[in-house]
Homo-oligomer: A and B are copies of this chain.
Amino acid sequence: MNIRLGDLVTRLGGELVGDAGLEIDGIAPLDSAGSRQVSFLSNRKLREQARNSRAAALALSPADSEALGPDYAGARVLTPNPYAWFARAAQHFVALSAPPPVPGIHPSASIAPSARIASSACIGAHVTIEAEAEVGKHCVLDPGCFVGQGARIGAGSHFFANVTFHARCEIGERGIVHSGAVIGSDGFGFANEKGAWVKIPQTGRVMIGNDVQVGANTSIDRGALEDTIIEDGVKLDNQIQIAHNCHIGAHTAMAGCVGVAGSAKIGKYCTFGGAAMVLGHLSIADHVHISSGSMVSRSIREPGQYTGFYPLAKNADWEKTAAIVRNLDSMRDKLKELEKELKALKDGNKRNVD
């Protein structure tokens, strides 16, 4: 499936410098792109590679285009964000090559009579949709998904196979939920009574905005009384745990294996590296970036990058340093003592000299 370069630029934006009539059939990396493919340059270290690229066209910034000079002979698409342009081009070609899902409900699906399913939606085999649930236009629910009572799924959302989306939870438009994700499980709330735990019913919901992606085997708990909230544009990777009553601000992204404890309030435009952990009842400001493997144990009020993991070493070296870490207070005490003794010695010398 081809598209003329000019039509592609019209669709995706950018300023075309070169032949609008070139037929393009796909995307490729700089070094392997051929005469019918577009590539992109977003890292100035790759300029030399771009000069030698045989791509039909390159998406790049005006500055990089100037730096490239005339060596690169193909067409150019000038754009301030070539990587985002490339992402959209890739989306375009994937959509061209994938057959659109055929609307309809698989005969093996189990749909409650009171569920409201858009006629343009596509419901796969062995799906269950319970009473009063709503599935919007052009939604795709792959085989084995479960949608609980009164849940609502916005237009254009896609649930991959074996997603569990519990009662009364909501997700906005263009959501993507990957396989094994569980949204709306009970929060972990118990009152302790003489050592045993009395369950506190979890009656809140999970409310998810538009353009949110939830990764494979990720869990998001419903709130205890109020709701767990995931704002627009949030991207969650795989194996993530979001506890009850969390609030995650718009466009925040979390890599795999992150855990967020209950009632944490996380700002907008944050990023979390893999396996970062956030304790409960904390607040994290907008534009905070947490490094992988770091434990956030207090609120963060200033934007910036924060880190906290023990540095890796050969095991024998770690054994040594870990033993010292365990006794750092005795090392500090010794240092203080030395300081005192040294001062005493200096004072003594001074008296001697005086």
A-side residues, CB < 8 A to B, are 28-29, 81, 83-84, 86-88, 90-91, 94, 106, 108, 110, 124-126, 128, 142-144, 146, 148, 160-162, 164, 166, 176, 178-180, 182, 185-186, 188, 190-193, 195-201, 203, 211, 213, 215-219, 221, 225, 233, 235, 237-241, 243, 251, 253, 255-257, 259, 261, 268-269, 273-275, 277, 279, 291-298, 304-315, 317-329, 331-332, 334-335, 338-339, 341-342, 345-346, 348-349, 352-353
CA distance A213 to B199 in the complex (A): 9
Asked if A313 and B308 sit within 8 Å, CB to CB, the answer is: yes
Q: In the assembled complex, which residues on chain B have CB atoms less than 8 Å from the CB atom of A310?
A: 294-295, 308-310, 322, 325
Asked if A191 and B314 sit within 8 Å, CB to CB, the answer is: no
Given A126-B128, A292-B261, does the pair A146, B144 have CB atoms closer than 8 Å? Answer: yes
Taken together, the copies of this chain in the complex come to 3
A-B contact pairs, 16 of them (CB 8 A): A94-B203, A110-B143, A161-B166, A179-B182, A190-B235, A216-B219, A216-B221, A239-B259, A275-B295, A296-B312, A310-B325, A311-B325, A320-B328, A320-B329, A331-B331, A342-B345
CA distance A124 to B149 in the complex (A): 13
Q: In the assembled complex, which residues on chain B have CB atoms less than 8 Å from the CB atom of A196?
A: 211, 233, 251
Asked if B256 and A257 sit within 8 Å, CB to CB, the answer is: no
Q: How far is the CB of A243 from chain B (nearest CB, A)?
A: 6
Asked if B143 and A143 sit within 8 Å, CB to CB, the answer is: no
Contact check: which of B110, B182, B297, B320 meets A126 at CB < 8 Å? B110
Question: Which among A162, A211, A335, A339 has the greatest number of chain B C-beta atoms within 10 A?
Answer: A162
Asked if A312 and B307 sit within 8 Å, CB to CB, the answer is: yes
Q: In the assembled complex, which residues on chain B have CB atoms less than 8 Å from the CB atom of A108?
A: 108, 110, 126
Contact check: which of B311, B320, B349 meets A345 at CB < 8 Å? B349
CA distance A238 to B104 in the complex (A): 34
Asked if A238 and B221 sit within 8 Å, CB to CB, the answer is: yes
Closest to A327 in B: B321
Asked if B275 and A259 sit within 8 Å, CB to CB, the answer is: yes
Asked if B321 and A329 sit within 8 Å, CB to CB, the answer is: yes
Contact check: which of B91, B166, B201, B215 meets A185 at CB < 8 Å? B215
